[in-house]
A and B are shown apart, each in its own frame.
Chain A
Amino acid sequence: MQFRVKDEGTQVHVALDGQLNFAANEDFQALLSQLGALKGKKVTFEMSGLSHIDSVGLGLLYIAREDLAESGSSISLAHPRDNVFRMLELTEAHKTFEIQR
């Protein structure tokens, strides 16, 4: 998985590419460190470049959500592909995350 972070004042866009899965570890650790410095931001994970996600990857999104909430930031997920959205539905993640289609 690769990511790009674009800070636009109160809004932060994080574009994810590739697979967010069990092998995405180091990359996501770096992302968590970067997001840990944010305060009171609205963070959007742009997911259109994400080809697959598994429950390990989803767990990482929950960790990011919790970390961001602690620093007064919020998280939303944008434009997941059909298979990724289906996975989010099957795991009921759509009840926790705001998802823009």
Chain B
Amino acid sequence: MATLLSSPLHATGPTDRRPVLVVEGAIGPDLAAQCRTLSLDVVIAGQPVPPLAACILAGSATAGSVRAGLAPPYCGFIELGPEGIVGIGMRCLETARAGGLTLSLQTITAYRLETLEYLVEAIRGYISEMTAESAELMDISLAEAISNAVIHGNLGIPSHLRTTTEGFAQFQRLLHKRMADPVVAGRRLEINIAPRSKDLIMVAVSDQGAGFDLAKKLEHTAAATAKNGRGLNLIRRATQTVHGEDGGRTLVMTFAR
């Protein structure tokens, strides 16, 4: 674990912190070069970090490592893929810099791990003053946004397949086929959480898929007994505000504290 000179998550001082990648084990030359390109400090776990460091744990993603990264003294976790941190969104570093919580996983990892559980747990610790109702609505919206980002965003699987038992079986076959493609399975799912004001929390869920027109999708209201198509409307009902960025690859939601 890194030797911290300041608490990245809970300090109330300056919000412009310096993101530092904390890596268990050795730092390879590729990762070092990638970090230099991004002007991102990288240290081996246990080494001292600079003052006002926002330490992000980076490494192989397991239940233990992701949970560790989402709890103090860290302010997030970045999965190191076969190509290091190539492909991570700058939003992760901006969130860390602003005192928020960040998570970047490959799609296959987000699918295999209990990603939502870890985030819900972390959010409870991160935003202690949030009401139970707000926390509940945030959980529901986050579950929905992660599902959309993985299935429709990164895997590009349409929702209309899941309307019958046979369609569901077809959906599964397609899911396994897409997951077997390392390029598709390596696309990132990123969740960034940060205070927007004293009353609002912002949660952004990003994927690396083809994007979509959020406003158009929100016009569609699923019938009460429909087996798909109710996800975005659920998010609209559960959030204070919702909008799309990056051509629909990032869903930005706000919640009352």
Cβ-closest chain B residue relative to A55: B231
Of B120, B136, B143, B226, the residue contacting A62 (CB under 8 A) is B226
| Contact yes or no, A19 B116, CB < 8 A | yes
* B201 close to chain A: CB less than 8 A: no
| Contact yes or no, A29 B144, CB < 8 A | no
Which of A9-17, A41-49, A82-90 lies on the face that meets chain B?
A82-90
What is the size category of the interface that chain B forms with chain A? 35 or more
Residues from chain B with a CB closer than 8 A to the CB of A82 are 136
Residues from chain B with a CB closer than 8 A to the CB of A96 are 224-225
Cβ-closest chain B residue relative to A86: B136
Inter-chain CA distance A54–B144, complex, in Å, is: 6
* B12 close to chain A: CB less than 8 A: no
Inter-chain CA distance A26–B171, complex, in Å, is: 11
Interface of B is mostly: helix
Inter-chain CA distance A83–B237, complex, in Å, is: 14
Residues from chain A with a CB closer than 8 A to the CB of B137 are 86
| Contact yes or no, B227 A90, CB < 8 A | no
Cβ-closest chain A residue relative to B172: A25
| Contact yes or no, B227 A62, CB < 8 A | yes
Of B111, B147, B165, the residue contacting A56 (CB under 8 A) is B147
A63-B163, A90-B238 known; A29-B172 Cβ under 8 A: yes
Cβ-closest chain B residue relative to A56: B147
Inter-chain CA distance A36–B165, complex, in Å, is: 10
Which 6 A-B residue pairings sit nearest by Cβ, starting from the closest? A55-B231, A59-B227, A22-B147, A54-B143, A62-B227, A54-B147
* B63 close to chain A: CB less than 8 A: no
Inter-chain CA distance A82–B137, complex, in Å, is: 11
